[in-house]
Amino acid sequence: MTTSVPSDRLETAPPLRKSRACRTVDVVLAGILISASLLHFSLFSRMNADVLAVFFSALLMSTVLSIVPLMLIRFLDRRERENPWLLAAAFLWGGCIATALSLPFNTAFFQLVDRWVALHPMVAEILGPNAATLIAAPLSAPIIEELTKAAGVGLIFWLLRDEFDNMRDGFVYGALVGAGFNWFEAPLYVAQGYAEWGVAPYNLHLGVRYALFGLGGHALFTGMFGLFLGLAAQTQHMWLRILAPLIGLLLAVAAHMFNNVLPLLAALGAASEGQPLGRESERDVIADLGFWQAFWTGSAIQATTFAPFLLIVAIALWRSGRWERRVIREELASEVGRSMSPAEYHDVLADRIMRTRRINELHPKQSAAFVNAQHELAFRKRRVRDQGHDPERDELVDSWRRDIARIRAGARAPSAV
């Protein structure tokens, strides 16, 4: 017998979604999407056919490589699955909209720095032919790109506030936006390298940008902003609600800036030792570099340079996992005999950090829907309680209970309630 799955809960978002203000937001978002599409089409139109072919080849490779970070992010989201369409929207915001919005601002700033370098030839003598890029990258990209990516996470938080329960939810959305940005940006750099050198640097850019399994660059940066936005949603302290997103954004910009300043420091070090900085030497390095060499070297560098930021993320995810399990235990205790059996609640108590509760007697898809509905019920009850209301009078709490009963009726449950 087929199990009824829970209905879409996006219609339970704040009334803003059905108001005139929401229609205005829809129009603005449609305008942003159209503008982003036009910017990308303009970019593609300026590429030669062979450069465009390299870009799409790299995009295909980037798509395959993105499967790993997406699977890791999905694992983090295992106790309360977010809406798949919303997750896809977060990924595409980073890949399609944030990259397009960043492009004109980054280009304008790079051109400004390029003109400044032309007026100061000594800078080019020290840093080599890539002087403008080495100087502009740590200044422009961290601010502009983190703002455009953070805008997507903030938009989800604003329009669909109930989709944010804690720091883990924030990291999931932020990391997805960052992973989307990385998915599209890496092929752009491969195409740019091919146009400049005549050699497509697939190994260099795909290996380095998917170092740490794709979670060491943009996914980490924007994930940190999402973490602190999730903390703002989770805390009851007003001062922390205000400061947490700002702290998260500053950390994202700082990590991104630190990443982008490394080539500048390397160039200064090479110049001090009298090493050649010409384009031919760079081309030779690109041609000889293998994917796994770039991947492991990039992973080692990122694990070292991003150690403080990775530690922040690890601690936050650990604490958010403890919070999730505590909320599930506390809120579902009163559901025994109602939407849970004693055996099911016993499994709740046995849940651990790296485990996910399952109903072994059910088909995996049925079990996932059943457990997810119970967890959604727990988080909804806590959210209503934190808002000072009675969960027993909440329409969505009743709706989740009906969904649980419907799933139970559609499949043989492990024990009767």
* Secondary structure string (H, E, C) spanning 91-159: HHHHHHHHHHHHHHHHHHHHHHHHHHHHHCHHHHHHHCCCHHHHHHCCCCHHHHHHHHHHHHHHHHHHH
Q: Above 90 in pLDDT, residue 162?
A: no
* Token pair 């579902």: residue: 332
Q: Above 90 in pLDDT, residue 255?
A: yes
Overall pTM surpassing 0.85 (yes/no): yes
Token output for 214: 């794709």
13-22, 105-114, 142-151, 321-330 — which is least confidently predicted?
13-22
User: HSE of 403 in the Cβ direction (CA atoms, 13 Å)?
Assistant: 21
Percent pLDDT > 90 in the chain is 53
For 29-77, the pLDDT digits (tens) are 788 888 888 888 888 989 999 999 999 999 999 999 999 999 999 999 8
- Contact status, residue 90 vs residue 180, Cβ threshold 8 Å: yes
For 9-25, the pLDDT digits (tens) are 544 444 444 456 556 76
Nearest to 56 by CA among 46, 45, 44: 44
Q: Above 80 in pLDDT, residue 284?
A: no
pLDDT for 25: 65
pLDDT for 1: 39
At 83, is the pLDDT very low, low, confident or very high (cuts 50, 70, 90)? confident
Could you give the CA distance from residue 83 to residue 10 in angstroms, rounded to a whole number? 8
pLDDT for 111: 92
155-169, 183-197, 204-218, 332-346 — which is least confidently predicted?
155-169
Q: 336 pairs with which residues across the strands?
A: 340
pLDDT for 381: 93
- The amino acid present at 141, given as its one-letter code, is A
Could you give the CA distance from residue 180 to residue 141 in angstroms, rounded to a whole number? 16
Q: Above 70 in pLDDT, residue 151?
A: yes
Average pLDDT estimate for 369-378: 90
- Write down the mean pLDDT value for the chain: 86
Q: At what angle do helices 84-92 and 167-197 cross, to 10 degrees?
A: 40
Q: Above 50 in pLDDT, residue 4?
A: no
Could you give the CA distance from residue 111 to residue 132 in angstroms, rounded to a whole number? 8
DSSP, collapsed to helix, strand or coil, labels residue 336 as strand
Could you give the CA distance from residue 153 to residue 172 in angstroms, rounded to a whole number? 10
In order, the DSSP letters of 20-38 are HHHHHHHHHHHHHHHHHHH
Average pLDDT estimate for 232-236: 86
